[in-house]
Amino acid sequence: MVAGLAYAAVTWKLFDLVSRVNPCCATAEDPRPRFSSYTPASFGTSGLPAELTASLDIAAYAMPTYEDVTISSRDGVCLAGWWIPATRADAPAVVMISGVGSCRRDPVMLLPAGMLHRNGFAVLMLDVRDQGDSTVVDGRFAGGTDEYLDALGGWDWVRTRGIDGSRIGLFGESNGASTVVIAAGAEPLIAATWEDSGYADTWIAVAEEVRRNGFPGALIPGARLWGRLHGIDLDRHRPISAVASIGDRALMIVHGLADTRVDPHHAIDFSRALGAARSGKDVASSLWLVPGAEHLRASFAAPIEYERRLVAFFGAALAGRSR
Protein backbone atom coordinates (compact mmCIF):
# COMPACT_ATOMS: atom_id res chain seq x y z
CA MET A 1 0.00 0.00 0.00
CA VAL A 2 2.81 2.39 0.92
CA ALA A 3 4.58 1.64 -2.37
CA GLY A 4 1.34 2.23 -4.29
CA LEU A 5 0.74 5.57 -2.58
CA ALA A 6 4.32 6.62 -3.24
CA TYR A 7 4.00 5.69 -6.91
CA ALA A 8 0.74 7.65 -7.14
CA ALA A 9 2.34 10.71 -5.54
CA VAL A 10 5.42 10.66 -7.74
CA THR A 11 3.44 10.08 -10.93
CA TRP A 12 1.09 12.92 -9.98
CA LYS A 13 4.12 15.19 -9.64
CA LEU A 14 5.30 14.06 -13.06
CA PHE A 15 1.89 14.59 -14.67
CA ASP A 16 1.64 18.04 -13.10
CA LEU A 17 5.11 19.01 -14.30
CA VAL A 18 4.64 17.83 -17.88
CA SER A 19 1.08 19.05 -18.41
CA ARG A 20 0.88 22.39 -16.60
CA VAL A 21 0.72 25.49 -18.79
CA ASN A 22 1.49 29.00 -17.61
CA PRO A 23 -0.36 31.74 -19.52
CA CYS A 24 1.08 35.03 -20.80
CA CYS A 25 4.04 33.37 -22.55
CA ALA A 26 5.41 32.18 -19.20
CA THR A 27 7.34 28.94 -18.93
CA ALA A 28 7.54 26.19 -16.33
CA GLU A 29 11.06 27.36 -15.49
CA ASP A 30 10.00 31.02 -15.14
CA PRO A 31 6.32 31.77 -14.44
CA ARG A 32 6.68 35.52 -15.05
CA PRO A 33 4.91 36.91 -18.17
CA ARG A 34 7.13 37.44 -21.19
CA PHE A 35 6.94 39.79 -24.19
CA SER A 36 4.08 41.80 -22.64
CA SER A 37 4.97 44.91 -24.67
CA TYR A 38 5.29 43.10 -28.00
CA THR A 39 2.64 43.65 -30.67
CA PRO A 40 2.59 43.10 -34.44
CA ALA A 41 3.45 46.78 -34.84
CA SER A 42 6.51 46.71 -32.59
CA PHE A 43 8.43 43.71 -31.33
CA GLY A 44 11.97 42.72 -30.55
CA THR A 45 14.05 39.59 -30.04
CA SER A 46 14.08 39.14 -26.27
CA GLY A 47 15.22 35.71 -25.16
CA LEU A 48 16.96 34.85 -28.42
CA PRO A 49 20.74 34.42 -28.78
CA ALA A 50 22.53 37.54 -30.04
CA GLU A 51 24.25 35.57 -32.80
CA LEU A 52 20.85 34.83 -34.34
CA THR A 53 19.58 38.39 -34.27
CA ALA A 54 22.62 40.64 -34.72
CA SER A 55 22.25 40.94 -38.50
CA LEU A 56 18.45 40.79 -38.64
CA ASP A 57 16.47 44.00 -39.17
CA ILE A 58 13.43 43.04 -37.12
CA ALA A 59 11.69 46.34 -37.92
CA ALA A 60 11.36 45.20 -41.53
CA TYR A 61 8.79 42.64 -40.37
CA ALA A 62 6.59 45.01 -38.36
CA MET A 63 2.84 44.91 -39.05
CA PRO A 64 1.51 48.36 -38.11
CA THR A 65 -2.15 47.72 -38.84
CA TYR A 66 -3.79 45.07 -36.69
CA GLU A 67 -6.95 44.45 -34.68
CA ASP A 68 -7.45 42.83 -31.28
CA VAL A 69 -10.12 40.17 -31.82
CA THR A 70 -12.01 37.66 -29.70
CA ILE A 71 -13.24 34.49 -31.32
CA SER A 72 -14.78 31.18 -30.28
CA SER A 73 -13.23 27.77 -30.53
CA ARG A 74 -15.36 25.10 -32.19
CA ASP A 75 -16.31 23.94 -28.71
CA GLY A 76 -17.11 27.44 -27.45
CA VAL A 77 -13.91 28.46 -25.62
CA CYS A 78 -13.24 32.21 -25.83
CA LEU A 79 -9.90 32.93 -27.52
CA ALA A 80 -7.83 36.10 -27.94
CA GLY A 81 -6.10 36.96 -31.17
CA TRP A 82 -4.71 39.56 -33.53
CA TRP A 83 -6.15 39.97 -37.01
CA ILE A 84 -3.62 41.50 -39.38
CA PRO A 85 -5.40 42.21 -42.68
CA ALA A 86 -3.62 42.25 -46.00
CA THR A 87 -3.65 45.30 -48.25
CA ARG A 88 -5.92 43.41 -50.67
CA ALA A 89 -9.31 42.15 -49.47
CA ASP A 90 -9.04 39.01 -51.63
CA ALA A 91 -5.62 37.98 -50.26
CA PRO A 92 -5.13 34.48 -48.82
CA ALA A 93 -4.79 34.14 -45.05
CA VAL A 94 -2.88 32.02 -42.53
CA VAL A 95 -3.98 31.11 -38.99
CA MET A 96 -0.96 30.89 -36.65
CA ILE A 97 -0.79 28.72 -33.51
CA SER A 98 2.05 28.82 -30.96
CA GLY A 99 3.48 26.09 -28.76
CA VAL A 100 3.41 25.40 -25.01
CA GLY A 101 4.92 28.24 -22.98
CA SER A 102 4.56 30.54 -25.97
CA CYS A 103 1.85 32.89 -27.26
CA ARG A 104 1.16 35.28 -30.12
CA ARG A 105 3.54 37.85 -28.52
CA ASP A 106 6.53 35.55 -28.84
CA PRO A 107 9.08 36.75 -31.45
CA VAL A 108 9.35 33.20 -32.81
CA MET A 109 5.70 33.66 -33.86
CA LEU A 110 5.84 37.33 -34.82
CA LEU A 111 8.76 36.95 -37.24
CA PRO A 112 7.08 34.33 -39.50
CA ALA A 113 3.87 36.38 -39.30
CA GLY A 114 5.78 39.42 -40.52
CA MET A 115 7.30 37.35 -43.33
CA LEU A 116 3.84 36.35 -44.52
CA HIS A 117 2.27 39.76 -44.11
CA ARG A 118 4.92 41.70 -45.99
CA ASN A 119 4.41 39.27 -48.87
CA GLY A 120 0.71 40.05 -49.10
CA PHE A 121 -0.96 37.53 -46.78
CA ALA A 122 -3.52 38.26 -44.11
CA VAL A 123 -2.68 36.69 -40.75
CA LEU A 124 -4.67 35.62 -37.69
CA MET A 125 -2.39 35.13 -34.68
CA LEU A 126 -4.28 33.15 -32.07
CA ASP A 127 -3.70 32.26 -28.42
CA VAL A 128 -5.07 28.78 -27.77
CA ARG A 129 -6.89 27.90 -24.55
CA ASP A 130 -4.86 28.13 -21.34
CA GLN A 131 -2.22 30.28 -23.05
CA GLY A 132 -1.58 33.93 -23.76
CA ASP A 133 -4.69 36.04 -23.20
CA SER A 134 -7.21 33.29 -23.96
CA THR A 135 -9.51 31.55 -21.49
CA VAL A 136 -7.86 29.32 -18.89
CA VAL A 137 -9.88 26.12 -19.00
CA ASP A 138 -7.82 23.84 -16.78
CA GLY A 139 -4.30 25.22 -17.01
CA ARG A 140 -2.99 22.14 -18.81
CA PHE A 141 -1.94 21.34 -22.32
CA ALA A 142 -3.65 18.45 -24.05
CA GLY A 143 -1.16 17.67 -26.80
CA GLY A 144 -3.39 19.19 -29.46
CA THR A 145 -6.33 16.91 -28.63
CA ASP A 146 -8.35 19.89 -27.38
CA GLU A 147 -6.37 22.76 -28.90
CA TYR A 148 -7.08 21.64 -32.47
CA LEU A 149 -10.63 22.94 -31.93
CA ASP A 150 -9.10 26.38 -31.30
CA ALA A 151 -7.20 26.25 -34.60
CA LEU A 152 -10.40 25.25 -36.37
CA GLY A 153 -12.27 28.07 -34.61
CA GLY A 154 -9.68 30.46 -36.03
CA TRP A 155 -10.10 29.01 -39.52
CA ASP A 156 -13.89 29.36 -39.19
CA TRP A 157 -13.54 32.98 -38.07
CA VAL A 158 -11.34 33.94 -41.02
CA ARG A 159 -14.01 32.57 -43.34
CA THR A 160 -16.45 35.08 -41.82
CA ARG A 161 -14.14 37.81 -43.16
CA GLY A 162 -15.16 36.80 -46.66
CA ILE A 163 -12.11 34.65 -47.44
CA ASP A 164 -12.83 31.29 -49.02
CA GLY A 165 -11.74 28.26 -47.01
CA SER A 166 -9.50 27.09 -49.86
CA ARG A 167 -7.43 30.27 -49.37
CA ILE A 168 -6.86 29.86 -45.62
CA GLY A 169 -3.87 27.88 -44.35
CA LEU A 170 -2.59 26.85 -40.92
CA PHE A 171 0.84 27.49 -39.38
CA GLY A 172 1.97 25.97 -36.07
CA GLU A 173 5.09 25.71 -33.94
CA SER A 174 6.00 22.90 -31.50
CA ASN A 175 2.78 21.80 -29.76
CA GLY A 176 1.04 24.26 -32.07
CA ALA A 177 2.55 22.41 -35.03
CA SER A 178 1.11 19.09 -33.91
CA THR A 179 -2.16 20.90 -33.17
CA VAL A 180 -2.52 22.23 -36.72
CA VAL A 181 -1.70 18.81 -38.18
CA ILE A 182 -4.54 17.32 -36.12
CA ALA A 183 -6.82 20.20 -37.20
CA ALA A 184 -6.02 19.70 -40.88
CA GLY A 185 -6.71 16.00 -40.55
CA ALA A 186 -10.11 16.76 -39.01
CA GLU A 187 -11.14 19.47 -41.50
CA PRO A 188 -10.86 18.31 -45.14
CA LEU A 189 -11.32 21.83 -46.53
CA ILE A 190 -8.03 23.11 -45.09
CA ALA A 191 -5.76 23.49 -48.10
CA ALA A 192 -2.30 23.90 -46.57
CA THR A 193 -0.51 23.29 -43.26
CA TRP A 194 2.99 24.34 -42.17
CA GLU A 195 4.31 22.54 -39.09
CA ASP A 196 7.54 23.72 -37.50
CA SER A 197 9.20 21.60 -34.78
CA GLY A 198 6.14 19.49 -33.99
CA TYR A 199 6.02 15.96 -32.61
CA ALA A 200 4.56 13.11 -34.65
CA ASP A 201 3.66 10.79 -31.77
CA THR A 202 2.52 12.51 -28.58
CA TRP A 203 3.39 9.70 -26.16
CA ILE A 204 6.85 9.26 -27.64
CA ALA A 205 7.39 13.01 -27.21
CA VAL A 206 6.12 12.80 -23.62
CA ALA A 207 8.48 9.90 -22.87
CA GLU A 208 11.38 11.91 -24.29
CA GLU A 209 10.34 14.92 -22.18
CA VAL A 210 10.13 12.72 -19.08
CA ARG A 211 13.68 11.47 -19.65
CA ARG A 212 14.85 15.03 -20.33
CA ASN A 213 13.54 16.03 -16.89
CA GLY A 214 15.37 13.15 -15.22
CA PHE A 215 12.38 10.90 -14.42
CA PRO A 216 12.43 7.12 -15.07
CA GLY A 217 10.20 5.81 -17.84
CA ALA A 218 8.44 3.48 -15.37
CA LEU A 219 6.50 6.51 -14.12
CA ILE A 220 4.84 7.19 -17.47
CA PRO A 221 1.91 4.72 -17.08
CA GLY A 222 0.94 6.38 -13.79
CA ALA A 223 1.17 9.87 -15.28
CA ARG A 224 -0.90 8.65 -18.20
CA LEU A 225 -3.60 7.49 -15.80
CA TRP A 226 -3.59 10.85 -14.01
CA GLY A 227 -4.06 12.50 -17.39
CA ARG A 228 -7.09 10.40 -18.19
CA LEU A 229 -8.56 11.15 -14.78
CA HIS A 230 -8.25 14.83 -15.71
CA GLY A 231 -9.93 14.27 -19.09
CA ILE A 232 -6.69 14.41 -21.08
CA ASP A 233 -6.50 11.46 -23.46
CA LEU A 234 -3.51 11.91 -25.74
CA ASP A 235 -4.58 8.85 -27.75
CA ARG A 236 -7.80 10.54 -28.86
CA HIS A 237 -6.04 12.42 -31.67
CA ARG A 238 -2.51 11.49 -32.77
CA PRO A 239 -0.67 13.93 -35.07
CA ILE A 240 0.96 11.17 -37.10
CA SER A 241 -2.40 9.48 -37.65
CA ALA A 242 -3.86 12.77 -38.92
CA VAL A 243 -1.35 12.78 -41.79
CA ALA A 244 -3.28 9.96 -43.49
CA SER A 245 -6.36 12.20 -43.59
CA ILE A 246 -4.33 15.12 -44.98
CA GLY A 247 -3.25 12.91 -47.87
CA ASP A 248 -2.46 14.94 -50.99
CA ARG A 249 -3.20 18.31 -49.43
CA ALA A 250 -0.18 20.57 -48.89
CA LEU A 251 1.86 19.83 -45.75
CA MET A 252 5.29 21.31 -45.01
CA ILE A 253 7.43 19.69 -42.31
CA VAL A 254 10.19 21.89 -40.83
CA HIS A 255 12.61 21.00 -38.03
CA GLY A 256 15.97 22.21 -36.75
CA LEU A 257 18.63 19.53 -36.68
CA ALA A 258 20.02 20.94 -33.42
CA ASP A 259 16.66 20.72 -31.65
CA THR A 260 17.08 19.25 -28.16
CA ARG A 261 13.47 19.85 -27.02
CA VAL A 262 11.59 17.92 -29.73
CA ASP A 263 13.87 15.40 -31.41
CA PRO A 264 14.24 15.82 -35.21
CA HIS A 265 13.22 12.19 -35.70
CA HIS A 266 9.62 13.41 -35.37
CA ALA A 267 10.01 15.28 -38.67
CA ILE A 268 11.31 12.11 -40.32
CA ASP A 269 8.37 10.17 -38.87
CA PHE A 270 5.94 12.76 -40.24
CA SER A 271 7.61 12.58 -43.65
CA ARG A 272 7.40 8.78 -43.77
CA ALA A 273 3.73 8.91 -42.80
CA LEU A 274 3.12 11.47 -45.55
CA GLY A 275 4.84 9.23 -48.08
CA ALA A 276 2.62 6.33 -47.02
CA ALA A 277 -0.48 8.54 -47.27
CA ARG A 278 0.53 9.51 -50.80
CA SER A 279 1.03 5.90 -51.90
CA GLY A 280 4.79 6.04 -51.85
CA LYS A 281 5.15 9.28 -53.81
CA ASP A 282 8.35 11.25 -53.29
CA VAL A 283 7.73 13.75 -50.46
CA ALA A 284 11.27 15.14 -50.19
CA SER A 285 10.06 18.65 -51.09
CA SER A 286 7.70 18.56 -48.09
CA LEU A 287 10.54 18.12 -45.58
CA TRP A 288 13.07 20.78 -44.61
CA LEU A 289 15.65 19.92 -41.95
CA VAL A 290 17.50 23.11 -41.00
CA PRO A 291 21.19 22.56 -40.09
CA GLY A 292 22.27 24.06 -36.78
CA ALA A 293 18.80 25.34 -35.83
CA GLU A 294 17.60 24.76 -32.28
CA HIS A 295 13.96 24.42 -31.21
CA LEU A 296 11.82 27.07 -32.96
CA ARG A 297 14.91 28.90 -34.19
CA ALA A 298 14.81 28.02 -37.89
CA SER A 299 13.24 31.35 -38.92
CA PHE A 300 16.07 33.20 -37.16
CA ALA A 301 18.86 30.81 -38.14
CA ALA A 302 17.97 30.98 -41.85
CA PRO A 303 15.59 33.96 -42.25
CA ILE A 304 16.01 34.50 -45.99
CA GLU A 305 15.46 30.85 -46.86
CA TYR A 306 12.67 30.48 -44.31
CA GLU A 307 10.78 33.42 -45.78
CA ARG A 308 11.31 32.18 -49.34
CA ARG A 309 10.01 28.71 -48.56
CA LEU A 310 7.15 29.95 -46.36
CA VAL A 311 5.82 32.39 -48.95
CA ALA A 312 6.28 29.95 -51.84
CA PHE A 313 4.51 27.16 -49.96
CA PHE A 314 1.40 29.11 -48.98
CA GLY A 315 1.46 31.09 -52.22
CA ALA A 316 1.20 27.92 -54.30
CA ALA A 317 -1.21 26.09 -51.99
CA LEU A 318 -3.59 29.00 -51.43
CA ALA A 319 -4.02 29.92 -55.08
CA GLY A 320 -1.15 32.31 -55.58
CA ARG A 321 0.51 35.19 -53.88
CA SER A 322 -1.29 38.50 -53.45
CA ARG A 323 0.60 41.79 -53.28
**Model confidence at 323: pLDDT above 90:** no
**Edge-to-edge, what's the strand order for the sheet holding 250-256?**
67-72, 78-84, 122-126, 93-97, 168-173, 192-196, 250-256, 287-290
Q: How many C-alpha atoms does 3 have within 13 Å on its Cβ side?
A: 0
Confidence of residue 321 (pLDDT cuts 50, 70, 90): very low
- Return the amino acid letter for 53: T
Pairwise CA distance, residues 257 & 212, whole Å? 17
284 or 224, greater pLDDT: 284
**Would strands 192-196 and 168-173 be described as parallel, antiparallel, or unpaired?**
parallel
Report the share of the chain in percent with pLDDT over 70: 98
Cβ–Cβ under 8 Å, residues 246 and 193: yes
In degrees and rounded to multiples of 5, residue 253 shows phi and psi of -115, 115
| Mean pLDDT, range 145-156, rounded to an integer | 97
Q: How far is CA 219 from its chain centroid? A: 27
pLDDT at 39: 98
Cβ–Cβ under 8 Å, residues 67 and 83: yes
Confidence of residue 89 (pLDDT cuts 50, 70, 90): confident
Predicted structure pTM score:
0.94
Domains with residue ranges and CATH for the chain: 43-202+238-317 (3.40.50.1820)
Confidence of residue 111 (pLDDT cuts 50, 70, 90): very high
Give the burial class of 156: count Cβ atoms within 10 A of its Cβ; 0-12 exposed, 13-18 middle, 19 or more buried. middle
124 or 143, greater pLDDT: 124
Pairwise CA distance, residues 131 & 249, whole Å? 29
**Model confidence at 318: pLDDT above 90:** yes
Q: Strand, helix or coil at 123?
A: strand
| Mean pLDDT, range 133-160, rounded to an integer | 95
pLDDT at 216: 83
pLDDT at 44: 96
**Model confidence at 215: pLDDT above 90:** no
Give residue-wise pLDDT tens across range 176-187: 999 999 999 999
Pairwise CA distance, residues 211 & 55, whole Å? 36
Picking from 115-119, 216-220, 319-323, which range would have the lowest pLDDT averaged per residue?
A: 319-323
